[in-house]
Amino acid sequence: MLGRYGQAMGARRSAQSSVLAARLAAQRLSGDHGSDVVEATRHLLAVQAQDPRGARLALRARTTGGHASAVDHALTHERSLVITSVNRGTLHLIASEDEPLLHALTTPQLRTASERRLGQEGVSAAVAARGISAIVKALGDDGPLTRTQIRAVLERERVPTAGQAMAHVLFRAAVDGLIVRGPMIAGEHAFALAAEWLGERPQIDRDRALAELARRYLAAHGPADERDLAKWAGLPLRDARAGLTAIATALSERPDGLVDLRRDELPPLPPPRLLGPFDPLLLGWLSRELVVDSAREVVTVNGIVKAIALVDGRAAGTWAMPGGHVELRLWGEHGRRTAVALAREADAVEAYLAVA
């Protein structure tokens, strides 16, 4: 009996290791990296970005060389990247060309929650509409504006801005497709009119869009299943299932029920890496247990996802940057080779984020 149990547990661990290796490769943490921040973002499709430093560190781990300022350049001068509320209503860094797809599929279901939160902040539907109209007019007249400047616009219109009121007015304007976070101005991410900054959105065929979303999701997250896709994108399960069904002929089905795009031989696990807060590796699936032991304090009670040290493809500790210098908090003993690799990573992170 124990022998059969041991064999079953060994087979389960082997299957988990296979899934982990495939996901690390899909995430561009092993094998080939992206050529630049735009290509890496396009591959990941959407990088959670409520922590601006975390989004930039996600791209550092998936590109070769470079500096965080490349993201600012793409946002401000190339307009090739943009930050807006998609996927679960959270701020994400996305390639500008992917904004129509993600906006069409992931924002309609956010409107009910938006109305409820506005009401909780004391902003009626009529007042919110008045505030959004004022924002759109100001952006049209003056071009991109910072958060401080928009606050002044709303206060002139007697639209509440205290607490989270302004944040939810801005969120609703983004969900309605009117504004995006465009250029960096004096170190602050400014808001711009979506139509002026990105151009008019093309018409999206929903069935084709769901198929494209499923294909793009698996390219960066496979192997996965419909529940993983639904969780990541904030879609109803029926939509995730429809997208995967539409590309079924391009998929490889696994014994564990997961599906993936057909891939070549997998590269070896990546060397030790430092991944930033809210890294895509911890946000792309229903469960993160393949990477993080459930007992580890990587995700706080208020939903903050900490920066991690990745060793042998799994979380081996957390890290922070008090005073601009990396401080590691590893959970166990590691050999000299790992220590040297993590020290090199710490130097690389500090150089990447250093003021240019």
Look up residue 218 and give its two tokens: 């698996």
Three-class DSSP labels, 189-207: EEEEEHHHHHCCCCCCCHH
Confidence at residue 136, expressed as pLDDT on a 0 to 100 scale: 98
Higher pLDDT, 65 or 205: 205
Task: Please give the Cα distance from 200 to 198 (Å, whole number).
Answer: 7
Tokens, residue 346: 């710490």
Model confidence at 7, pLDDT cuts 50, 70, 90, reads very low
Give CB contacts under 8 A, 24+ apart, made by 170-174: 170/135, 171/85, 171/89, 171/114, 171/117, 172/111, 172/114, 172/118, 172/128, 172/132, 173/132, 173/135, 173/136, 174/84, 174/85
Q: What is the pLDDT of residue 9?
A: 41
State the pLDDT confidence band at 309, using cuts at 50, 70 and 90.
very high
Neighbours of 157 (CB within 10 A): 14
Quick one: which H or E segment has residue 149?
Answer: helix 147-156
Query: H-helix or E-strand containing 183?
Result: strand 179-185
Mean pLDDT of the chain: 93
Note the pLDDT tens digit of each residue in 53-81. 999 999 999 999 899 999 999 999 999 99
What's the average model confidence in pLDDT over 19-37?
A: 93
With cut-offs at 50, 70 and 90, classify the pLDDT of residue 154.
very high
* 238 contacts: CB under 8 Å, gap ≥ 6: none
State the pTM of this model: 0.93
Q: Which two tokens stand for residue 3?
A: 């022998």
Rg (CA), the chain: 21
Three-state secondary structure string covering 49-107:
CCCHHHHHHHHHCCECCCCCHHHHHHHHHHCCEEEEEECCCEEEEEEHHHHHHHHHHHC
The pLDDT of residue 10: 47
Rounded CA-CA distance 229/192 in Å is: 30
Average pLDDT over residues 316-333: 94
Q: Name the residue with higher pLDDT: 64 or 6.
A: 64
- The larger pLDDT score, comparing residue 187 to residue 284, is at 284
Where residue 301 falls among pLDDT bands split at 50, 70, 90? Answer: confident
In contact, 180 and 197? CB cutoff 8 Å: yes
Q: 129 with 115: CB under 8 angstroms?
A: no
Chain segment 168-196, per-residue pLDDT in tens: 999 999 999 999 999 999 989 999 999 99
Query: What pLDDT score was predicted for residue 288?
Result: 93
